[in-house]
Amino acid sequence: MKALNLPDATQETIYITDYAAQVCKEGNTVCGDYYKVVRAADYTFAVLCDGIGTGIKANIAARIFAARAQNLVASRFLQSKTNIAEIFERIVSDMEKARASKSAFSALSIAIFLPEGNVSIFSYRMPQALILKQNLQEWQPIKFKNHTAAGTKFQTAQFTINYGDAVCLSSGALGTGINLTEVLNSMTTTFPVSSMANMLVDRLSQANPSVQDDATAMILYAKKPEVLHILTGVSKQKDNDAHIVNKFLALNGQKVICGSTTMDVFCRVTDLKASINTSFYADFIPPEYSIDGITLATEGAITLNQCNNILFDDFFKDKFDTAPEKLANLLRHYDIINFIVGTAENTSHDTAEFKQMGIMPRREVVLAIIEKLKKRGNIVLIEYV
């Protein structure tokens, strides 16, 4: 598999879906554990922190060290390719200093997934991480290597995964309350991976009705990503039209065209025709077109702006009447979104009507949509042409 560094490599990468469940210590309403997953084009970072203490105090400690770990990994390992053990030594040293001074600190597990399937895991004062290899259909403990930093042991592991494999991270109560390997293996042939985190936490609650510590189960599942490509706007250089259209056609995944001029260029290059869909047409609703091989074809800036307004608004979830609703729900569904954005100027964006209606120019609204997608956890690519 190739690293995810080109739009046409999106189907050859591993995408990590996360499923997590938590239960609070008896008597608490705030969980002292905290988990986070951050996805980028060239890595997925997952962290599970078990804040020392209980309730809000523990939750704050867990969040603080999750952020520190994310910053260290992103700045040191992923950019400079520093040895991962050195990064974890720094994290452990920070933890031990906080622990010695009786400041807030946290036990934690970190997993870093690279697009080609390489995985690095770090564990500090946390239960054994487990792996499910799809070809074996059996959960097994991950083999860790022991290290020492600041007089304290921590563990690291490096291995590869493929589609259908999964990793399980958990916090304290799960590691001591039930046999994780045994419970997970009792589910493997009967239940989907997506339900296992909830079932682990339920099993702990059944075994120990008075839960004595916060507990979190986190399942990180490797799958082939579902990819959506959006072509919007035309190139400044008209002699690029054929190259851009042919490149767009060659991409694996579903395809959307946003922009009337973009459609004109696409149809001219391909000799295809765009026919307007009259089944839903009203004032202020951008029209939808049908083009062979294209999932959705519609107007550009207005559709993108209306989509941005309703994106992730649950009122519009699974509504497919209008082009903006259809685009919003496509963006909800797909894991990787690849924007190909034309840089030719569109003078209509500067008209009084557009400004009065608050319609952002194409490039501006695309960036607004991308920001929302990234916050949700999507991998987003953008290429300007």
In a domain, 183, yes or no: yes
The reply to whether 285 and 297 lie within a common domain is yes
The reply to whether 50 and 176 lie within a common domain is yes
In a domain, 316, yes or no: yes
The reply to whether 293 and 339 lie within a common domain is yes
* pLDDT reported for residue 207: 80
In a domain, 131, yes or no: yes
Contact 10, 187 (CB under 8 A): no
B/e letters for 91-110, b = 16+ CB within 10 Å, e = fewer, are bbebbbebbeeeebbbbbbb
Domain that residue 102 falls in? 7-223
- What ranges make up the beta strands (E) of the chain? 15-23, 33-40, 43-51, 106-113, 118-124, 130-133, 138-141, 145-149, 152-160, 166-170, 215-223, 227-232, 254-258, 275-277, 288-290, 296-298, 336-341, 379-384
The last residue of a domain, from among 166, 200, 223: 223
The reply to whether 70 and 134 lie within a common domain is yes
Which residues in the chain land under pLDDT 50? 1-7, 9
* pLDDT reported for residue 5: 44
Task: Show Cβ contacts of residue 367 under 8 Å, excluding neighbours closer than 6 positions.
Answer: none
The last residue of a domain, from among 176, 206, 223: 223
| Nearest-5° Cα angle at 272, 267 to 273 | 85
* pLDDT reported for residue 349: 61
Q: Which of 106, 103, 99, 36 is nearest to 71 (CA)?
A: 36
The last residue of a domain, from among 176, 202, 223: 223
* pLDDT reported for residue 370: 97
* pLDDT reported for residue 1: 36
The reply to whether 105 and 248 lie within a common domain is no
* pLDDT reported for residue 303: 95
Q: How many CB atoms lie within 10 A of CB 210?
A: 8
For residue 139, the SS3 value is: strand
* pLDDT reported for residue 294: 97
The reply to whether 210 and 238 lie within a common domain is no
| Nearest-5° Cα angle at 361, 300 to 236 | 75
Determine the Cα–Cα distance for residues 310 and 313; give it in Å rounded to an integer.
5
The reply to whether 43 and 137 lie within a common domain is yes
In a domain, 134, yes or no: yes
The reply to whether 210 and 244 lie within a common domain is no
In a domain, 313, yes or no: yes
Residue range 197-220, pLDDT digits in tens:
999 999 888 887 777 788 899 999
In a domain, 307, yes or no: yes
Tokens standing for residue 143: 């083999």
Alpha carbon 359 to its chain centroid, in Å, reads 28
Its pTM stands at 0.87
